[in-house]
Structure 1
Amino acid sequence: MIITPVIRENAIVRLEPLTAHHREELRPLADEAELWALTSLRGDGGHFDAWFDLMLANTQSAAQISHLVRRQSDGAAVGHSAYLVITPEHKRLEIGWTWYRADARGTRINPAAKRLLLGGAFEAGAERVELKTHHLNTRSQAAMTKMGATREGTLRHHLLCWTGEWRDTVFFSVLREEWPAVKAGLDARLA
């Protein structure tokens, strides 16, 4: 499995591999406390630069590929999503650190971005794509279920959040043999 940082786009979104020039475009979008309430790291306000620097450093080290998510209809930056825990020897990666500004949530933005990210992963040779979220993040769990991902279970006290609280992490996945059905479902939602 070889996955590289490339621009991925469809009629709804454009995913641009994260570079330093995206910093100021993402900064105002991240300044919403609700986005970070259930995360392990904080990225709003004075925490943004440290979060952004970590995303950029991980992208430059090939540990992940972060993307600025841009809406095609008006060219506006609307959020962030990434390939994480890229593990070529096991043909596995994770899609995560996904968040969107308020007016993009509940629209076709997320399914369009997931269609591109999942498609890119399987085209690169992935056998398994993982997604995970906080046990209290019911919006993300609903989106993963609606997308057709399989809920695998929960790891208790998996991560210590920036708030000092423990996160139980709910795992989902899509396997290569499940991708055609998931792809068809996403394509139908985007048609």
Structure 2
Amino acid sequence: MIDFDFTADHILEDEIALLRPLKEGDIAHLLSFANQSEIWRFSTQKGDTEEALKKYLLLAIEARNDKKEYPFVIIDKRTNTYAGCTRFYDMKVNQHNLSFGYTWYGKQFHGTGLNKHCKYLLFDFAFNSGFERVEFAADTTNTRSIAAMKSVGCTEEGILRSHVVRLDGSRRDTIVLSMLKQEWEHSLREKLNSKL
């Protein structure tokens, strides 16, 4: 069984990206992203108003305190600015599996390469911490997110039909993708590193 320390301040960084645990003091710096409605188009939790985003972030912090999730704030080191958030969730430490998700970036950070740096750091940390499988899930209509997951080496596993209720009340199909530790160590770490 993995002994993941939810109380530790895990800090992941390279020359471009800094990921550190999300704290209440970060919330004020992230509220401006509530106004970027395209960020929240595929979200299953409201974040498109300052009040909704504050609740979203406080729930993520609470989930860490409850040892269920581990949220990170993302800083772009090139400009020393808050760029977004991501988290580990659905952490099955006895099975050595976890999911990455709830990932969003301000629109000014889209296409800048920041996401690839963050994913590299997250994969490396997860697999070095003893996890064997990382899973991603997304709305099947979220082509940007799906392309990003495939571009870092994830394998499509299948579609969960009528899986999740969208914020508008409709039901979505969810695509599931994953990466395994052996794939990361054998070739995908080097492949993603070459794209950074």
In the TM superposition, what is the alpha-carbon distance from 1:26 to its structure 2 partner?
A: 1.0
Q: Is the 8 A contact 2:138 2:145 kept in 1?
A: yes
TM-score (norm 1): 0.96
Q: Distance in 2 between matches of 1:152 and 1:41?
A: 24
Q: Which amino acid aligns with 1:189?
A: K
Correspondences of 1:108-187 after superposition (within 5 Å): 108-180=113-185, 181-187=187-193
CA shift, 1:30, in A, is 3.1
Q: Deviations over 1:9-67 (max 9, x none)?
A: 11110001011101101111232111111111111213112211111111221211111
| Paired residues, number | 190
- Measure, in 2, the Cα distance between the counterparts of 1:97 and 1:126: 19
Can you list the C-alpha shifts for 1:152-187, whole angstroms capped at 9, x where unaligned? Answer: 001011111111111111000001111122211111
- Aligned letter for 1:81? T
Identical amino acids, percent of aligned pairs: 29
Q: Which runs of 5+ in 2 are unaligned?
A: none
Please say if residues 39 and 107 of structure 2, whose CA atoms lie closer than 8 Å, have aligned partners that are also in contact. Answer: no
> For 1:166 and 1:61, how far apart are their aligned partners in 2?
29
2:98 maps to 1:97? no
Contact 1:3–1:121 (Cα < 8 Å) also in 2: no
Following superposition, the deviation at residue 71 of structure 1 comes to: 0.6
Q: CA RMSD in A?
A: 1.1
Deviations 1:127-152 (A, max 9, x none): 10001111100001101111110000
Note the residue ranges of structure 1 that are not aligned, 5 or more in a row: none
The aligned counterpart of 2:61 is 56
Alpha-carbon distance in 2 for matches of 1:153, 1:99: 23
Which residue pairs with 2:195 in the alignment?
189
Alignment TM-score, normalising by the size of structure 2: 0.93
Q: Distance in 2 between matches of 1:61 and 1:30?
A: 25
1:11 matched residue in structure 2 = 15
Q: What is the match of residue 3 of structure 2?
A: 2
- Kindly provide the amino acid, as one letter, of the partner of residue 111 in structure 1: K
Is 2:87–2:100's contact at 8 Å kept on the other side of the alignment?
yes
Matched residues in 1 for 2:177 and 2:68: separation? 20
Contact 1:23 1:52 in 2 (8 A): yes
